[in-house]
Amino acid sequence: MITDDYLAMIARQEKQFDALYRNAGALFNIPDCAMWVLYFVASSQEVLSQQDLINQMMFPKQTINSAVASLQKKGLLELVVIPGTRNRKKIILTDVGHELVSHTVARMRQAECQAVEQMGFEKMEQYIALYQEFYSHLHDQFIKEGVLHE
């Protein structure tokens, strides 16, 4: 059935993306979740908290908290309480963290930017729109089928 072929291709592509980033993190000797923490913190236009990372990264809370604690212990991140909150902390890269990012995540981001330029911005916008449309339909069907709760 053609639908099965499409679904298998999508699953394969998702796994290829996962493996690409996981292999890059492994080459840099950075565990998967820790690499993504560095990626999101370094790439964000605004200061992120651990809760922001949980919302954006789609990793379990404990996994992100462990990765942040490990990076903090290595002197790559600092947690600073956000004034006016109970205990919400913003994540700040240290000088050592910035240095590591410049040799790892920044290189990945450069490769991503070059890939987008090679693909072309119009195609990239189409890809993002189609991916989001498929995700939205799939999410709705998961809820309808009881595979996922709202």
Q: Are residues 37 and 64 both part of a single domain?
A: yes
Q: Which residue has the tokens 């590591």?
A: 100
**Model confidence pLDDT, tens digit, residues 90-145:** 999 999 999 999 999 999 999 999 999 999 999 999 999 999 999 999 999 999 99
Q: Alpha-carbon distance 92 to 72, whole Å? A: 10
Q: Are residues 88 and 55 both part of a single domain?
A: yes
CATH at 43: 1.10.10.10
- Its pTM stands at 0.88
Number of domains in the chain: 2
Judge residue 43's burial from the number of C-beta atoms within 10 Å of its C-beta, 0-12 exposed, 13-18 middle, 19 or more buried.
middle
Q: Are residues 125 and 70 both part of a single domain?
A: no
CB within 8 Å of 57: residues ≥ 6 apart = 33, 36, 37, 40, 64
